[in-house]
Amino acid sequence: MKKAILIGVLLITILTACKNDFDESASQKIIGKWRVKSIESKETTGGVVQSDYVVSYDSIDNYWNFKNDSTLYTYYQYDISPDTSKYKIKDGVLLISTGIQITVPKTIKKITDNLLLLSMRHDDYAYTLEYTMTLIR
């Protein structure tokens, strides 16, 4: 019995430490300017696909800029000025707050020095929106 409890505590400690290591690594790698390359989107209502598409961005004017002080500037080609918000990474999830609301959490699927993949899912009764955003340096 003591062995089982000890093994359980050990596993929880290891898994928690790994997640914290990922958050620290992602928090460092995410700093800087990322160009939005594409957004894949799928909308369903009652299990029926309403739309399923990929939007590719060729302009360097579509970007997310993560700063060391947890400020995030997002800019799209036709914006007059960048939107400003705050961000944090917790348990592998990117949380963004505009000050008025917290946006839908974005799971960090992959982060390297040159690639950031974010995914999001929003369910509202019978309606579901899923998207994957690809950002590159």
| pLDDT tens digit sequence for 52-90 | 888 888 777 889 999 999 999 998 877 777 889 999 999
DSSP state of 91: T
Range of the domain at 120: 2-136
Domain of 79, CATH number, reads 2.40.128
- The two beta strands, 71-75 and 93-97, are unpaired
Q: Tell me the sheet residues that pair with 29.
A: none
Q: How confident is the model at residue 12 (pLDDT cuts 50, 70, 90)?
A: very low
> Number of structural domains, the chain?
1
- pTM for this entry: 0.76
